Amino acid sequence: MMIGAGQRLAAIAVAFTLGTAPIQAQTSYPERPVKIIVPIGPGGSYDLVGRALADALSKRSGQSFFVENKPGAGTVVGTQAAAQSAADGYTLVVGGLSNMAFNSALYSNLAYDPLRDFVPVAMVYRFGYVMVGRKDLAQADVKAIVAAAKEKPGSITVATAGVGTGQQLVAAAFMKAAGVKLLEVPYKSSPQAFTDLLAGRVDLFFDSIAAGLPYVQSGQARGLAVLSSKRSRLAPDVPTMSEAGVTGLDVDSWLAIFVPAKTPPAVVAKLRDDIRAVLPELTERFDKTGGEAWDRPEGLEAFVATEHASWTRLIRDAGIKLD
């Protein structure tokens, strides 16, 4: 059948419109305010990342990105709410080791599955841990601590800042890597643990570099090792754990943005591009916290799955539970 010129032009116009629809859908996002769920209360690294991104993405997109703090049961309540929200790109959640790696093993009946219910969009931030000792500790370095703990298991005490916290789990990771048994002394918070460490009532504590280094720099405590793969720019004289004699213990805590599973790929791609574009302007802000902006463009889903598997195994081996 012959087609006239007018019909051909109409057909081309329709094809062009259909062909560009996905692109238009992608570039029009966001068309309304976007909520970033922070699954803890105000303050702390999750909140820092959520608010820094909300500010930067609002400026870049011309649309409002806003933080909703939704604490409860550690990070469970806010993360579960994000998992149950519409998969349309208008509800994001800040995810890290606690809600995307620890909770599956800590809770017997977790109401969400970190790997099934979420898609990681972009890595944003990471920070390391430091092993801090009381200033008058008889053992001068990590090798001496390990030797003493092996000779007399339980003779060296380590503070923990609550069951299932990063501080407790990093201590468990150290004990496993070093092959030692330390005597855990539980506290309800990091400040309480530091109070007793500075008073000499407990020997060791593992905490974020940002929290621990001020005590080291003031001479109130001893910095024994950082648990990252490289020395901290804030404490270049403190060795890595590998340099101190314990290998296989490169621990970085990280924070990324996640969206509910089945969020349209075009929306995920647009959001990922926007986050990566604003990361450089957050570098100085993050540096001041002892962490760093961390862009990880490739293999993010595999990375999260690996972190989930390794921490799940460690938590179960250590017998740590929250229910």
94-108, 262-276, 283-297: the lowest-pLDDT one: 283-297
Tokens of 2: 């012959």
Report if residue 21 sits inside a domain: no
Report if residue 15 sits inside a domain: no
Looking at residues 292-315, what average pLDDT do you find?
A: 92
Report if residue 238 sits inside a domain: no
Q: 216 with 268, same domain?
A: no
pLDDT at 15 over 60: no
User: What is the structure's pLDDT at 296?
Assistant: 82
Domain membership of residue 216 as a residue range: 128-226
pLDDT at 21 over 70: no
Q: 88 with 139, same domain?
A: no
CATH code of the domain in which 95 resides: 3.40.190.150
Q: Is the dihedral of CA 57, 59, 64, 66 positive or negative?
A: positive
pTM of the model: 0.85
Query: Under a CB-based contact definition with an 8 Å cutoff, are residues 126 and 294 in contact?
Result: yes
Distance between CA atoms of residues 183 and 204, nearest Å: 10
Q: 204 with 63, same domain?
A: no
**Exposure of 13 by Cβ count < 10 A (0-12 exposed, 13-18 middle, 19+ buried)?**
exposed
Q: 115 with 261, same domain?
A: yes
Q: 120 with 67, same domain?
A: yes
CA nearest neighbour of 170 among 198, 118, 212, 217: 212
CATH code of the domain in which 147 resides: 3.40.190.10
Calculate the dihedral angle through the C-alpha atoms of 141, 143, 149, 151, rounding to the nearest 10 degrees: -130
Looking at residues 196-220, what average pLDDT do you find?
A: 93
| Between 7 and 218, residue with greater pLDDT | 218
3-state SS, residue 76: helix
Q: 122 with 261, same domain?
A: yes
Question: Which residue's structure tokens are 């809770």?
Answer: 107
Q: 120 with 53, same domain?
A: yes
Residues 125-149: tens digit of each pLDDT: 999 899 999 999 999 999 999 999 9
Question: Which residue's structure tokens are 């075009």?
Answer: 266
Distance between CA atoms of residues 79 and 88, nearest Å: 16
Q: Which residues of 231-256 are buried (b: 16+ CB within 10 A; e: fewer)?
A: bbebbeebbbbbebbbeebebbbbbb
Query: Distance from CA of residue 305 to its chain's centroid?
Result: 13
Q: 220 with 273, same domain?
A: no
